[in-house]
Amino acid sequence: MILAHNYQPGEIQDLADFQGDSLGLSIEAAKSNAEVIVFCGVHFMAETAAILSPQKTVLLPEPHAGCPMADMITAEQLRVVKEHHPGAVVVCYVNSSAEVKAESDYCCTSANAVEVVNSLGKDKEIIFVPDQYLGQFVASRTGRALILWPGYCPTHVMITEDDIKDAKVKHPGAIVLAHPECTEPVKRLSDQLLSTSQMIKFAVKSAAKEFIVATEKGIIHSLKKQRPDAEFYPATQRAVCPNMKKITLDKIIASLENMQPQVTVPEEIRLKAKRAVDRMVEILPSK
């Protein structure tokens, strides 16, 4: 089964058996009967599939397709934060390593982070890692004071307040769709804060004909396919995730011919991480 994230190059989105956001891909990877999953995305996504389904062969066609945000916190650093806040519940964004997930109580994606935090008792202190901007979004939607880690997505922080202001001047009346990984000033200027698949669903249902898209540009391929009658303007041409673009058609073919490179997780870490990831796939988003 070939799974592709919404930021993948267009030709890879087109050949995938399933395309989606981090949550959709994890659910699909868990429920598929396929013996082999080719994960067209970045390392933590393939690793999450391996955590959920150790019996499957999980291939990541380019082993160096990582996520800089996921690398911004180590398990050791998280253990230190936990020592400072004994008794706190740890919620980690899926953009994190298996070792960090193993130190966490709950995992979430941008699609269900609010629902995950809302499911926790009001008396609980909550540590949220590693994305400070997703964390700020969750804190404002839930009214909970979260202990944040200063991680961020280098691609989403490239989108500036001025980019949105300029785009609005050029396209008055366009709806601004932004990812929660964007900075607060960008989010304040946006109409909808959504995960990548939620953006596609929103555009499909909306009667609007123009959208400004504040997330990685690759998603525009899918948006145009789903709504050929509408215009989608990237907030900036700079919003490109170089790691997502490391996957190519040739690398996919080579991975299937060689059954390499495989992504696996040591069993001890996997079992600990699975607790948090199982909770992530069980708590469904409201949108």
Question: What residues line the site for ligand SF4 (CB under 6 A)?
Answer: 42, 67-69, 95, 153-156, 216, 241, 243-244
Evaluated on CA atoms 107, 67, 176, 219, the torsion sign reads: negative
Q: What binding mask, one character per residue, do residues 111-140 give for ligand 13P by CB under 6 A, x or -?
A: x-----------------------------
Q: Which of 48, 110, 112, 236 binds ligand 13P (CB under 6 A)?
A: 110
Q: What binding mask, one character per residue, do residues 79-108 give for ligand 13P by CB under 6 A, x or -?
A: ----------------x-------------
Q: Which of 2, 6, 117, 280 binds ligand 13P (CB under 6 A)?
A: 6
**Closest CB to ligand SF4 among residues 67, 139:** 67
Residue 243 partner contact from ligand SF4, ligand 13P, none using kind-dependent CB cut-offs of 5 to 8 Å:
ligand SF4
CB of 43 to ligand 13P, least distance (A): 10
> Which of 127, 133, 159, 179 has the alpha carbon at shortest distance from 235?
159
Residue 110 partner contact from ligand 13P, ligand SF4, none using kind-dependent CB cut-offs of 5 to 8 Å:
ligand 13P
CB of 67 to ligand SF4, least distance (A): 3
Q: Which of 96, 97, 196, 222 binds ligand 13P (CB under 6 A)?
A: 196
If DSSP states are collapsed to H, E and C, what string results for the chain? CEEEECCCCHHHHHHCCEEECHHHHHHHHHHCCCCEEEEECCHHHHHHHHHHCCCCEEECCCCCCCCCCHHHCCHHHHHHHHHHCCCCEEEEECCCCHHHHHCCCEEECCCCHHHHHHCCCCCCCEEEECEHHHHHHHHHHHCCCEEECCECCCCHHHCCHHHHHHHHHHCCCCEEEECCCCCHHHHHCCCEECCHHHHHHHHHHCCCCEEEEECCCCHHHHHHHHCCCCEEEECCCCCCCCCHHHCCHHHHHHHHHHCCCECCCCHHHHHHHHHHHHHHHHCCCCC
**Closest CB to ligand 13P among residues 23, 37:** 23
Residue 274 partner contact from ligand SF4, ligand 13P, none using kind-dependent CB cut-offs of 5 to 8 Å:
none
Site for ligand 13P in 14-43 (CB under 6 A): 21-23
Separation between Cα atoms, residue 19 and residue 281, nearest integer Å: 17
CB of 214 to ligand 13P, least distance (A): 12
Residue 68 partner contact from ligand SF4, ligand 13P, none using kind-dependent CB cut-offs of 5 to 8 Å:
ligand SF4
Contact residues for ligand 13P (CB under 6 A)? 6, 21-23, 67, 95, 109-111, 153, 179, 181, 195-196
